[in-house]
Amino acid sequence: MNKKTKIKYNQDRLYYIICYAVVAILTLIVLYPVVYIVSASFSNPDRTVQGDVWLWPVDINLDAYKMLFNYQKLWTGYGNTILYTVGGTIINLVVTLTCAYPMARKNLRGRSQIMFLFSFTMLFSGGMIPNYILVRELGIMNTRWALLLPGAMSVYNMIVCRTFIQTNIPDEMLEAAQIDGCNDLQFLFRMVLPLSKPIIAVLALWYGVSHWNAYFNAFLYLKDNDLYPLQIFLREILFASSQIGETEEMLAEEVTRSQYMYVAMQYCVIVVSTAPLMCIYPFVQKHFQKGVMVGSVKG
């Protein structure tokens, strides 16, 4: 080994060490708060607040969970969120696919004009107040439809789906099917949908997660406790101390018995609301990433 390659080798080793170290440190920074919150939720509330929990649970204790599970609102919120997620995702998929399939046809007359109609909405929108007036005028204010209809399709997702169909279902296949007397709807159901399973999975995941996490529309359009999704309930619990004025009557009498308990319960509610997503995430992350890649291909 001559001197020059030796220097290079050392330089490379230093570079690799830095890479591994930085990646490892960033990973730990991401991981630590998550582990801490899970540990804090399972620890004795007194010990948590006194600062005895640093990494692993201390003096394991499920009282805070028991207290949380006694809230009827948690279960109502959970039920509603599942309903909005399942119902909303089905609506999203139907609308997105019925839009993406025709838009994937290069020879459809008026295609570019219709495409403009859709993509323009990504650049400009009416905004909060006109949307609010619309929801009111449609008579769906304070109903479940207010969460299901306004976001029935994301134009971005539709374009991703269209690009997928264009690149994965060759024109020759359509021609062959047409020769055999297959019409457009038959082609959609017999060929396009079965061949688009990967992108349908990706879209279902994207839409599903966004419904699960959605807060804004419920916050604007719903007044009725029975309709609230989980995220609204979360806000009540998580921000009670900073916004006592709004939530005092609901929580005060139940909460005063233990301020510590309440802090512990905040950790629990974070875990309970986020656990379903985090549990399925490692298994489906491949699909999410695939979707990002499909989206980056311009059609």
* Sites for another protein among residues 76-135 (CB under 8 A): 94-96, 98-99, 101-103, 105-110, 114, 117-119, 121, 123-134
171 phi/psi in degrees, rounded to 5: -55, -35
The gap from C-alpha 190 to its chain's centroid, in whole angstroms, comes to 30
**Side chain identity at 244, as an amino acid letter?**
I
Tell me the C-alpha distance between 285 and 188, whole Å. Answer: 28
- Establish if 225 lies at the interface with another protein (CB under 8 A): no
Of the two residues 3 and 197, which places its CB atom closer to another protein in the complex?
3
Tell me the C-alpha distance between 240 and 122, whole Å. Answer: 36
- Establish if 51 lies at the interface with another protein (CB under 8 A): yes
Per the listing, tokens 């909405």 go with 121
- Establish if 231 lies at the interface with another protein (CB under 8 A): yes
- Span of 17-25, 56-64, 65-73, 247-255 interacting with another protein by CB under 8 A: 17-25
Q: How far is the CB of 10 from another protein (least distance, A)?
A: 9
Q: How far is the CB of 226 from another protein (least distance, A)?
A: 19
**Side chain identity at 225, as an amino acid letter?**
N
Q: Are 203 and 164 in contact (CB under 8 A)?
A: no
Size of the site for another protein (CB under 8 A): 104
Q: Are 263 and 51 in contact (CB under 8 A)?
A: no
Binding positions for another protein, 267-286, rule CB under 8 A? 267, 269-270, 273-274, 277-278, 281-282, 285
Tell me the C-alpha distance between 20 and 2, whole Å. Answer: 27
Tell whether the torsion through CA atoms of 276, 280, 286 and 288 is positive or negative: negative
Binding positions for another protein, 251-270, rule CB under 8 A? 263, 266-267, 269-270
Of the two residues 7 and 60, which places its CB atom closer to another protein in the complex?
7
- Establish if 220 lies at the interface with another protein (CB under 8 A): yes
- Establish if 234 lies at the interface with another protein (CB under 8 A): yes
Per the listing, tokens 């992108």 go with 199
- In 3D, which of 283, 284, 298, 148 has the Cα closest to residue 203? 284
Using alpha carbons only, what angle is made at residue 119 by residues 117 and 121, rounded to the nearest 5 degrees?
Answer: 80
- Establish if 250 lies at the interface with another protein (CB under 8 A): no
Among 1, 72, 183, 224, binds another protein (CB under 8 A): 183
- Establish if 223 lies at the interface with another protein (CB under 8 A): no
- Establish if 156 lies at the interface with another protein (CB under 8 A): no
Among 20, 56, 75, 156, binds another protein (CB under 8 A): 20
